[in-house]
Amino acid sequence: MLTALKVRLYPNKEQQIALAKNFCCCRFVWNYYLNKTNTQDQETGKGLSYCDMAKDLTQLKKVAEYIWLQEVSSSALQQSLKNLETAFKNFFEHRAKFPKFKSKHQKQSLRYPAGCSIKSGSVQLPKLGIVKAVISKNNLGKIKSVTVCKSSVDKYFAAILFEVEDVRTNKEGKISGIDLGLNSLVTVFDGETTYKVEPIRATKKYAKGLRPRQQSLSRKKKGSNNRKRQVKRVAKVHQKITYTRQDFLHKLSHKLVSENKTIVVESLCVKGLARTNKAKSVLDSGFGMLVNFWDYKLKRVGGMLVEVNRFFPSRKLCNCCKYKNDSLTLKDREWVCPKCLTHHDRDENAAKNLRSEGMRILSTNTVGHTEFQACGEGVRLASNSTRKQRSRKQESPVTPSV
């Protein structure tokens, strides 16, 4: 099993200069062959493969004008070409946008696919030597690669990808339905009790310090040294916001994963929600980040994440009699079922319905899957709506063996 560990690096001045050269060369190789691939594709209708680019790079380093490419690690340059090929493949398979040219004014990164090791609490990198680091784990597995990056506030980090033994066990715990929202970040129902966790709203918390810095930045002349220094001041506030949000979500996800063996959540379209008038609050909440944390942390301990289709009417269904209230609006935080007269809290009712739907999905899917997608066509109740969502793939009707 592959896992990663992000550590802070503290390179000395010589190593910082060497890293700057590595960043520059990897960025140049990416931009050079991206431009060359685009030009050849326009002329011949066929781009360059990784093998073609690697052969050309070998000859390019012998040219006197580009002799400085030999000063850096050749494996890092070849990895930059592999990343470019992967970017094109993701574009043609409609998983990502078209590759863009890299800028020296943005976050810098490079990957060492080999030649890295951990020695006495430090990281040894090709042609850089031993770089001082803060490593929280003592025994790491076999290192597969190391990705070094430099943030916008001149901090260096290394993401160490290593291989460890798969020690997953059948995790014991509860099955909880969790409803994500803006007023309450999570509403959890574990079958017995219901509780809510309020969001921290990190952006709003640091807005008072961010506003004057951004106003000062807007008055600085573009290209001046004062503007560059002010950009770093603004970036430090944004970094503080990011770290605050990540720290809160990591602690929340760890608490929920330790208490539950299965988490049922709605598969929200965060990109679509970011186009609404609640975009700032949605992005500040970090819905996608929280779900990702649940996913990989549950897989580590043998748990399971079940995602219910976003078109499942979890908020409109009465969890007692399954009556669907089509007249419910976003402003209605509480409502009374007209059929069974049960009083519902909107978020708590949604969490209960999600848990019930998640248990139904688990009973109709094959045991061993770590993630499920509920088809919207099978879980929606009949309504007066003329439009009906169609699912692309139906769930497997296989019943799990006991």
pLDDT at 164 over 90: no
pLDDT of residue 398: 39
- 253 and 294 Cβ atoms separated by less than 8 Å: yes
Mean pLDDT of 17-27: 94
pLDDT of residue 81: 95
pLDDT at 191 over 50: yes
Percent of the chain at pLDDT exceeding 90: 51
Q: Which of these, 241, 14, 31, 8, lies nearest to 135 by C-alpha position?
A: 8
Which residues sit opposite 160 in a β-bridge?
A: 5, 146
Q: What is the pLDDT of residues 171-188, one digit of tens each?
A: 678 889 999 998 899 999
Q: How far apart are CA 13 and CA 22, in angstroms?
A: 14
Say how far residue 175 (Cα) sits from the centre of its chain.
Answer: 24
CA geometry: angle 40, 46, 50, nearest 5 deg:
85
pLDDT at 375 over 90: no
Mean pLDDT of 102-107: 86
pLDDT of residue 382: 40
In degrees and rounded to multiples of 5, residue 149 shows phi and psi of: -135, 155
pLDDT at 387 over 50: no
Number of neighbours of residue 241 by Cβ within 10 angstroms: 19
Structure tokens at 75: 């494996």
Number of neighbours of residue 364 by Cβ within 10 angstroms: 16
Structure tokens at 125: 């990198």
- 99 and 87 Cβ atoms separated by less than 8 Å: yes
> In this structure, which amino acid lies at residue 396?
S
- 235 and 153 Cβ atoms separated by less than 8 Å: yes
CA geometry: angle 396, 363, 307, nearest 5 deg:
75
3-class SS letters over the chain: CEEEEEEEEECCHHHHHHHHHHHHHHHHHHHHHHHHHHHHHHHHCCCCCHHHHHHHHHHHCCCHHHHHHHHCCHHHHHHHHHHHHHHHHHHHCCCCCCCCCCCCCCCEEEEECCCCEEECCEEEECCCEEEEEECCCCCCCEEEEEEEEECCCCCEEEEEEEECCCCCCCCCCEEEEEEECCCCCEEEECCCCEEEECCCCHHHHCHHHHHHHHHHHHHCCCCCHHHHHHHHHHHHHHHHHHHHHHHHHHHHHHHHHHHEEEEEEECCCHHHHCCCCCHHHHHHHCHHHHHHHHHHHHHHCCCEEEEECCCCCCCCECCCCCCECCCCCCCCCEEECCCCCCEEEHHHHHHHHHHHHHHHHHHCCCCCCCEEECCHHHHCCCCCCCCCCCCCCCCCCCCCCC
Q: How far apart are CA 55 and CA 73, in angstroms?
A: 16
Number of neighbours of residue 280 by Cβ within 10 angstroms: 12
Q: Which of 266, 295, 357, 395 is catalytic?
A: 266
- Structure confidence at residue 400 as a pLDDT band (50, 70, 90): very low
Q: How far apart are CA 11 and CA 206, in angstroms?
A: 30
Number of neighbours of residue 340 by Cβ within 10 angstroms: 11
Q: What is the pLDDT of residues 214-254, one digit of tens each?
A: 999 999 998 899 998 999 999 999 999 999 999 999 999 99
Average pLDDT over the chain, rounded to whole?
85
- Structure confidence at residue 120 as a pLDDT band (50, 70, 90): confident
Q: Is 166 an active-site residue?
A: no
Number of neighbours of residue 293 by Cβ within 10 angstroms: 19
- Structure confidence at residue 69 as a pLDDT band (50, 70, 90): very high
pLDDT at 115 over 80: yes
pLDDT of residue 61: 93
pLDDT of residue 169: 67
Q: Which of 190, 347, 348, 357 is catalytic?
A: 347
Q: Is 326 an active-site residue?
A: no
Number of neighbours of residue 148 by Cβ within 10 angstroms: 25
Mean pLDDT of 338-352: 88
Structure tokens at 387: 């439009």
- 378 and 395 Cβ atoms separated by less than 8 Å: yes
Q: Is 347 an active-site residue?
A: yes
Domain ranges for the chain, please list them. Answer: 2-163, 174-198+257-379
Window from 91-105, 362-376, 386-400 with minimum mean pLDDT: 386-400
pLDDT at 389 over 50: no
- Structure confidence at residue 167 as a pLDDT band (50, 70, 90): low
Residues 6+ apart with CB under 8 A from 51: none
Window from 83-97, 200-214, 326-340 with minimum mean pLDDT: 326-340
Mean pLDDT of 370-393: 41
pTM: 0.79
Position with higher pLDDT, 42 vs 136: 42
- 105 burial type by CB count under 10 A (0-12 exposed, 13-18 middle, 19+ buried): exposed
